[in-house]
Amino acid sequence: MPGRIGGATVVLLAAWILGVGASPAAAQGSLNVYCSVQLEWCQTLATEFTRHSGVKVAITNKGSGEVFAQIKAESANPRADVWFGGTGDPHLQAAEEGLTTAYRSPNLAQLHPWAVKQAEQSGYRTVGIYMGALGFSYNTELFKKKGLTPPRCWADLVAPTLKGEVQMANPASSGTAYTALATIVQVMGEAKGFEYLKRLHANVNQYTKSGVAPVKAVARGETLVGISFVHDVVTEMVAGFPVAGVTPCEGTGYEIGSLSVVSGARNPDGARKFVDWALTAPAQSLGARSKQFQVPSNRSAEIPKEAPRLAEIKLIEYDFKKYGSSAERRRLLDKWDKEVNALPR
């Protein structure tokens, strides 16, 4: 009968609500993983770990900034056991605030020195699982059309020919762009670095909010050049877009994707088992299967053939301890906002 809400409907609704209320976060004995890499990678990790250990895994897929905010908000009664992936800075921040707990995996010995260093610097509260170098991407079709030579160095990005054609993310919102800011300061020194950023400001058409936005804009021809991680460029290339990646000749910084165990985890044994497994070579080869091209931290993990060759990249001695600390980060971001971002273009 139209126009009447029948008693049956009400009962049905009530049943539904109660059903909704009763569904718990995760069954006992399973492992709650907050996962900050691409969804397919997360899902493959979950299935493979269950196959390996018999522990059921519940994946929650979120960006690293969001996971950090969530773990912080939940700290009185933590919900997550493990936090997998995402750039290192929020992991270091979480370690600094005691949101994550120390664990020395026996498998640390199988890792590259940079990953072990990440663990040492955080008091073993986090460990590196992959590395991605910073660089730029450019649109090959548009460069050909305009008859320009592609940039090779940081210095090329401030050329007058690229006025209004460079895109980078806003370092206050994006971890990628903060890595770029810290890299430039470390490559050129703070005074010269900020002079450079001011000149770059004139060539930047917009500071995007998300770190992957510039490379996507390059792929679709919305801008000529974007500053981003080079493995993200490979992802666009593989999807069929006319982009190419460059790592700057003066040297460049990098991120260390990290893995942490949450303080007060409900399944600490499962969490440690997961860390041990995630550091092994077979587990680290799963990223490439999901078309993600970071460099794994296990020395014997297979490196995808599309991945940027570390040997061809001039990496700087990036100081994660200094530039990952909240005081230094706040100072640099404030300075960048006042002295660079506030300038007219």
Partner 1 sequence: MLALSALAVLAPVLLAAEVLARRGHLRGDRFAAASLLIIVVLVAVFVFLPLTRVLTAAVQGPDGTLNVGALWPRLTAEKIWTLACLSSARRCGVAWNTLALALLTASGTTLLGLAAALLVTRTALPLRRLARLLTVLPVITPPFVIGLAIILICGRSGVVNALLESWLGIPPTRWIYGWPGLLLAQLFAFTPIAFLVLVGVVESVSPTLEEAGQTLGGGPAHVLGTVSLPLMAPGLANAFLVGFVESIADFGNPLVLGGSFNVLATEVYFALVGAQYDQGRAAALAMVLLAFALGAFLVQQRVLGGRAYTSVTGKGDAGIPLALPRALVRTLQAVAIPWLAFTVAIYGMALAGGFVAVWGRDHTLTLQHFVKAFGVEWSAGGLLWTGGAWNSFWNTVRLSATAAPLSAAVGLLTAYLLHRTRFAGRRAFEFGTLLSFALPGTVIGIAYVLAFNTPPIELTGTGAIIVICLVFRNMPVGVRGGLASLEQIDRSLDEASLTLGAGGATTARRILLPLCKQALVGALVYGFVRSVTTVSAVIFLVSGDTDMATTYIIGRVVNGDYGVAIAYSAVLIALMVAVIVTIQRVVGVRAVGARAAESAP
Among positions 215-254, residues that touch partner 1 (CB under 8 A) are: 216, 219-223, 235-236, 239-241
215 SS3 class:
helix
Tokens of 238: 């593989």
Angle between helices 88-96 and 326-336 (to 10 degrees): 130
Task: State which of positions 89-148 bind partner 1 (CB under 8 A).
Answer: 89-90, 93
Q: Does 8 bind partner 1 (CB under 8 A)?
A: no
Bridge partners (DSSP) of residue 168 are 207
Task: State which of positions 24-43 bind partner 1 (CB under 8 A).
Answer: 24-26, 32-33, 38-39, 43
Q: Does 81 bind partner 1 (CB under 8 A)?
A: no
Q: Does 47 bind partner 1 (CB under 8 A)?
A: no
Q: Does 153 bind partner 1 (CB under 8 A)?
A: no
Q: Does 74 bind partner 1 (CB under 8 A)?
A: yes
Half-sphere exposure of 86 toward its Cβ, with a 13 Å CA cutoff? Answer: 27
Tell me the DSSP string of 79-142.
Answer: --SEEE-S-HHHHHHHHHTT-EE----GGGGGB-HHHHHHHHHTTTSEEEEEEEEEEEEEEHHH
Q: Does 333 bind partner 1 (CB under 8 A)?
A: yes
| 108 versus 219: smaller Cβ distance to partner 1 | 219
Nearest to 128 by CA among 138, 120, 110, 116: 116
Q: Does 260 bind partner 1 (CB under 8 A)?
A: no
Task: State which of positions 308-327 bind partner 1 (CB under 8 A).
Answer: 326
Candidates 159, 212, 310, 313: give the one binding partner 1 (CB under 8 A).
Answer: 212
Candidates 140, 173, 285, 325: give the one binding partner 1 (CB under 8 A).
Answer: 173
Q: Does 339 bind partner 1 (CB under 8 A)?
A: no
Neighbours of 214 (CB within 10 A): 29
